[in-house]
Amino acid sequence: MLDRRGPLIRPLLLTPRVQGVKARCMFQNLENLSREARSWPFEQARNLLAHLLKHRLETDAERDLAATLIGSNKADEALATFEALARPVIFETGYGPSGLPHMGTFGEVARTTMVRNAFRALTGDHWRTRLIAFSDDMDGLRKVPEGVPNPEMLREDLHLPLTKVRDPFGTHDSFGAHNNARLRAFLDSFGFEYEFMSSTETYRSGRFDATLLTLLERFDKVMGIMLPTLGEERRATYSPFLPISPITGHVLQVPTLARDVERGTITFEDPAGEPGNRTEVPVTGGHVKLQWKPDWAMRWTALGVDYEMSGKDLIESVRESSKVCRALGGVAPEGFNYELFLDVEGKKISKSKGNGLTMDEWLRYGTPESLSWYMFQSPKSAKSLHFNVIPRATDDYLSFIEQYKTQEPAKQIDNAVWHIHSGQPPESASPVSFALLLNLVGVANASTKDQLWAYFAKYLPDATPENEPVLDRLMGYALNYYEDFVKPSKTYRLPDDREKAALLDLAERLKALPADTTDGEVIQGEVYAVGKAHEFEPLRAWFQALYEVLLGASQGPRFGSFAAIYGLPQTIALIEAGANGELVA
């Protein structure tokens, strides 16, 4: 039933997969720093620890002793003292494979992994943890997703479990299997440590049987929780059990007409049978699945889930599922509600509508780490998720790698890159920014990495794709992003009289420098001097003019560094062309 990590299908940019002793060492001897860390994963880790002590130990005296031991960096002693604490800490993320995996799906796994790593650091990595990525692939296909091939075929398979719906892409045994594979391939490419769990396989294997029988026994109590949350029409036909029709294989939303606790069965009328028929099926062995809120509660109970986060839109669902979980004898997990991603129009991203960025789309234009960076930032604030956030996320990530090098340990552990790289950020990233590369692509009219590398021959004479792999990867992303988004929207303008005079002055000053100058600071000094000499106020108006006249954009990279890479003679020619209006189409 459990399928552990598969092989990497896409090489990671910077993050290695770490296992065994090395992985454990990354999170050891960090307990003191973890207790004081202010970043949100550590806040969540401390909440989770309090939750575990509260619900796994029976008396206040036990809780106080365990807390004292853990607070003294003796989590191993606490685990040895209290058998109830020895069970692994279970983290869960859920995925509904009715549409292609999207960024929100990945974000939940990435953020949960960050909390998991923070918890490991908080407890000296003595406490075993597991992360389950659960796919609700036994759910019935309710509607045909947009943007998927062969919609007619999917329409014929409506109401079948997703693992019985034919794959419209023709690559897997079912639509559910196809979407599960897409999700797992992407998670594997990031090196996440997780266990994939299929709803279909878990129901059929009997793993949920005991909890399903408990729900059958406590049917009335569960109905008492759920019915007040439903409208009058829905209440009349609601049942937490969704039987699978023995005739059509459809997942049925029909009333439960009778229950037999001793036999472990329910009785219902199958719409595909004769009118008035009474069909009896066991609630075990995959013959039924549960409505999603009772299903969520049942999973928490059966799997012993300790932590699960969810979107802000599910606050009420978490509350109701928690009640059902307690009714089943379980303990609702710790977690928090993150804000939702919005599309370019400010609307909620939907799997079925396909109105968000796909994971593959982000990775055409940006690094995997830039995506993890985006997920780390302010999870409780709503954020737009579309193409124009990628360059900024990429450069923000690179800048925090540089900051990490000089930070004290207490600051490092709160730096996003510590969380992105599971406690081991790389020692270096890229010698130039993504924004600079984007502008270099445009000005140089480059279409290949080789053309870009040629410009670095003087600026970074020892750099090669082999010893600067991050820069090499960024070049590929920059070429793609420029071609698809920057080039179509570039708009050059003519300079006004003052700007023209300043541009020509800058060209003359640069001509006075040695032609092989590669010191970006020297060039930047001349740019500043011209802006001040021509009394641009504020000075950023001068830089904005440079970008708009020479690069066709309202903002750009540090001009001195750009000129150093592009080459001083080429930069002078560009400035003169812009001053004379030759760049305007």
Give residue for tokens 């996003």.
416
Which pLDDT score is estimated for 353? 62
What pLDDT was estimated at residue 135? 95
Helix (H, G, I), strand (E, B) or coil at 373: helix
Distances (CA, A) of 19 to 14, 111, 419: 16, 20, 16
89-95 vs 337-338, strand pairing mode? unpaired
Residue 92 phi, psi (nearest 5): -135, 145
Question: Which pLDDT score, from 0 to 100, does residue 17 have?
Answer: 44
Query: How much is the pLDDT for 369?
Result: 93
Q: CA-to-CA distance for 58 and 185, rounded, in angstroms?
A: 42
**Within a 13 Å sphere around the CA of 235, how many CA atoms are in the beta-carbon half?**
10
Distance CA 112, CA 40 (A): 11
CA-closest candidate to residue 244, choices 295, 298, 182, 200:
200
R_g over Cα of the chain: 29
In 3D space, the residue among 485, 495, 455 whose CA is nearest the CA of residue 471 turns out to be: 455
What does pLDDT average to in each consecutive run of 10 residues of the chain (585 residues)? 33 41 70 97 98 98 98 97 97 87 82 97 97 96 91 97 96 95 84 95 98 98 97 95 98 98 98 97 98 97 98 95 98 95 73 67 92 94 88 96 96 97 92 94 93 92 95 97 92 96 97 94 96 96 96 89 94 96 89
Q: Please state, in angstroms and rounded to a whole number, the distance separating the CA atoms of residues 110 and 379.
A: 11
